[in-house]
Amino acid sequence: MRIGWLGLGNMGLPMAGRLVDAGHEVLGYDVTAPARRAAASRGITVADSVADAVTGADAVFTMLPNGAVVREVLVEHSALVRAPARAVFIDCSTIDIADAHDLHTAAVSAGRRFLDAPVSGGVGGAAGGSLTFMVGGDAEVLATVRSLVQAMAGRIVHVGGPGAGQAAKIVNNMMLGINLAGLCEGAVLAERLGLDAATFQSLAAASSGDSWALRTWYPAPGVVQSAAVNRDFDGGFAADLLAKDLRLALQAGERTGTPLPHATAVAEAMHDLHERGHGGKDCTVLVRSVAGSW
C-alpha cells in the first residue's frame, strides 16, 4: 500500500520504518530537517510538504505532538482533502478527546474515514512492532486497515466510538505518570538504603512493586537497557509530552467531577522539569529532582 506519514519523531520514525519493512511505500513528512534526514536513512521517501506526503495515499498516519498540530496538518494544511477519497486517516498521537471528536467530524465533512488510534509501548515498542493500539471510531473502518496496523502492533483494541481510543490512552498515561513518580522515589530511596540497583529492580519486578515503568525505565544506569538514564535522558518520552497527557487527564477529571490528587502532583513535577529547562528530556529525568542532583 501507499502510506502517507506525518510526524517522524521519536515514535513516528520507528513506526513508519516498520511499514517500510513490511513492504509498503511510505511517503513521510516532518517539519524538522534532522527528522527528514533520519527518515530517508530508514527507507522512507521524504516528501516536501504535507500535501505531497498524502497525495495518492491509501492510508495516512499522523504521529504529532498534540491536537492543535494534528488539526493544523489535517484541516489547515488540507491533508484530509488532498488525500484520495479512499484514504483512511489514522491519528496515533495522544490528543484531547474533544479534539479527536472534532477531527472525526472534519473527516466526515470531507468525505473521509478517520480513526483515533493512540498507542502505548514507548519507543522500544515502536521499534519492535509491539505497540498497543487503542482505537476509537467505526469498527468496519478499523477492519480495512487492521492488517496494515498489525506491522506496528502487539495488540489492537477497538475501544469504542469516536474519541474512545483517546479516552483510554489519557487514563492509561495518567496511571503511567503516577507509576513513574513512585518509581523515581523508590529508586532513590533504595539506593540511599544501600541496596544494589539491579538486585532491587529484579526483586521488585517479581514483587508487588512491579510496573511497566519499573521494567522498562528503571532510572539507575546499567540496570535496564531500554531506560533513558543510560542515554543522559535523551529520546524516549519527553517530560513535556507526559505533562500534556496529565493536563488532558486533569481536564477530564474536572469535567467528570473526579478528584485526581496524585495525577495533580505528578503534573506539577513535570511542570517543574519544564521550568528547569528539562521538558525535552525523557520524563524519567524526574529521578534527578527526587535525588536533588542537578
Q: Any contact of residue 159 with ligand NAD (CB under 6 A)?
A: no
Of residues 47, 83, 110, 123, which one binds ligand NAD by CB under 6 A? 123
Helices (H) and strands (E) in the chain, counts: 14, 9
Catalytic status, residue 169 = yes
Of residues 69, 175, 250, 291, which one binds ligand NAD by CB under 6 A? 69
Residue where the block lists cell 495533580 = 264
- The span from the CA of 105 to the CA of 114, in Å, is 9
Contacts of 266 (CB under 8 A, 6+ apart): 177, 178, 180, 181, 242, 246
Amino acid making up residue 290 = V
* Interaction mask 92-121, ligand NAD, x per CB under 6 A: -xx------------------------x--
State the nearest-atom distance from the C-beta of 207 to ligand NAD, in Å.
25
Q: Any contact of residue 40 with ligand NAD (CB under 6 A)?
A: no
**Residue 135: closest CA among 73, 86, 102, 91:** 91
Q: Any contact of residue 72 with ligand NAD (CB under 6 A)?
A: yes
Angle CA 66–70–72, to nearest 5: 115
- Looking at 17-25, 69-77, 96-104, 186-194, which segment touches ligand NAD (CB under 6 A)? 69-77
Q: Any contact of residue 241 with ligand NAD (CB under 6 A)?
A: yes
Contacts of 13 (CB under 8 A, 6+ apart): 35, 38, 39, 42, 44
Q: Any contact of residue 171 with ligand NAD (CB under 6 A)?
A: no
Residue nearest to ligand NAD (CB): 9
- Where do contacts with ligand NAD occur on this chain (CB under 6 A)? 6-12, 29-32, 35, 63-65, 69, 72-73, 93-94, 119, 122-123, 237, 241
